[in-house]
Structure 1
């Protein structure tokens, strides 16, 4: 494990002052209270990096129940059925606990956990893995799928995106249903505790209702990859090229830019009790963790 104490900070202050004046003959400056409004922008501080053995790692998933972090590794082309993909387990200190936990997948990307099962997108199917037994139980084929990408779950419902077809589906009781269509380049998905689905596509960050209709939350962070919900008003969104934004009340702030290092920021995840952001770096073959202050 490599540890480097470097900090990515982006700070700004917004100051607003009010002054009052009065007097019938001359202007008199009164000692009224000045209301000062200051906002400190969010920042990320590097905590650790794994060794660079997680080949073309696309997605991270923190399991609150076990404390384990799952990592999906494509190890090849993202749309080639070569059987080279695998799932790894790392810990919260960045140690690779089990590199080849599950093997024999083609190009694993998004992951979600429901009822002791890990669900993983794999080009045109959803791979269902028994976590305790560490074995593949089912492969749910998705008719017409071209590029399945992200996953998130709510109870028994497994939402997943087909980026190339512009669709959001869900898997429920072994059957696959359409949720929304016409969502160009849809990728990152996240479900809030109350079951509300949010998504990142070519137009930006969207909030969906139960019928698959949406409202725009932010139309600047387009073409996003990973999505995290901090609360009803605060989100973190990544762009694969090497950008991560915090979106609060619809307004975006760039909090990480690693494009010059050619380090990607793919399907991120979050350890909420410690405010730790997990970033898979794709071609850099490692997961990087940052402390979030906001």
Structure 2
């Protein structure tokens, strides 16, 4: 084998090992109540974790809450913000914490813990899930009831993009990037009419937002979506419990199998830290990993 050929083989082996490297558990925190989303407040060196509490048919109203968790995984205040209906997605921007609650997009002042505003569609509850912030501080949240992405920006809360669910399928996770909004599909009907796992769709920013797709492969029932710092993503599959790495062209590989209920995680690129809520285990786990 020639020297260039050996170099190519060695590079391929290194690439495969890097892609397949398993995350290592750093800490685990328990005592939550159906934790769904986590976000890191760098200025205060702490995480916020949304807790749905009881959810689904017959759920107790108003038992959802937000927890404060230290950077090393200690629960600082379990019920920091209480009285929420079914809080899920979290986003930090504009000096505020935004929460996708069942009826409203809730706006909280992290300095005081006070609810500053509740944003709702004009015709009733939004049935909101994930939310995300772009670089300009606009907040995006998806209404399952209306099949519409709403945007909060410039003091206005309004419908921004009507989703074609025949293309995207049912949606869960959202993630804003520089020039587009990523949409994590739950399931979608294939050409044969049968239900199949979801994929990553996108909506471009600009005067005329356009719907697109990343790759052609099914990925899973996508909950969390986080950039990996190398042009790809990590996503969680709530249904299988898998944590996956997804390339820029939509190909995926399993990094960890964690059990059903892995939800809207966060990834701190500089620290190489994945923080993953587990809805059904009532725990949050942190893993060290870099692509």
- TM-score band (shorter)? 0.7 to 0.9
**More helix by percentage:** 2
In 1, the alpha carbon distance for the partners of 2:220 and 2:125 equals: 23
Query: 1:248-287 maps to which residues of 2 (within 5 A)?
Result: 248-250=247-249, 251-259=251-259, 263-287=260-284
1:162 aligns with 2:143: yes
Query: 1:34-113 maps to which residues of 2 (within 5 A)?
Result: 34=5, 35-36=8-9, 37-38=12-13, 39=15, 40=17, 41=19, 42-50=21-29, 52-78=30-56, 80=59, 82-113=61-92
In 2, the alpha carbon distance for the partners of 1:78 and 1:153 equals: 27
The structure with more radius of gyration = 1
1:190 aligns with 2:171: no
- Tell me the CA shift for residue 146 of structure 1: 4.9
State the number of aligned residues: 260
> What secondary structure is seen at the aligned counterpart in 2 of 1:77?
coil
Q: Which residue of 2 aligns with 1:147?
A: 127
Q: Which residue of 1 aligns with 2:236?
A: 238
After the TM superposition, which parts of structure 1 deviate over 6 Å for at least 4 consecutive aligned residues?
none
In angstroms, what is the RMSD of aligned CA positions?
A: 2.0
2:285 is aligned, of 273, 278, 288, to 288
- Tell me the CA shift for residue 165 of structure 1: 3.9
In 2, the alpha carbon distance for the partners of 1:33 and 1:135 equals: 62
Q: Does the CA contact (< 8 Å) of 2:179 and 2:204 recur in 1?
A: no
Shift in CA distance, 70/165, structure 1 to aligned 2, threshold 3 Å: same
Q: Which residue of 1 aligns with 2:194?
A: none
Gaps of 5+ in 2: 188-197
Q: TM-score, normalised by structure 2?
A: 0.83
Shift in CA distance, 145/181, structure 1 to aligned 2, threshold 3 Å: farther
Q: Deviation per CA, 1:77-100, whole angstroms, max 9, x where unpaired?
A: 157571111100101211001111
Moved more, 110-119 or 163-172: 163-172
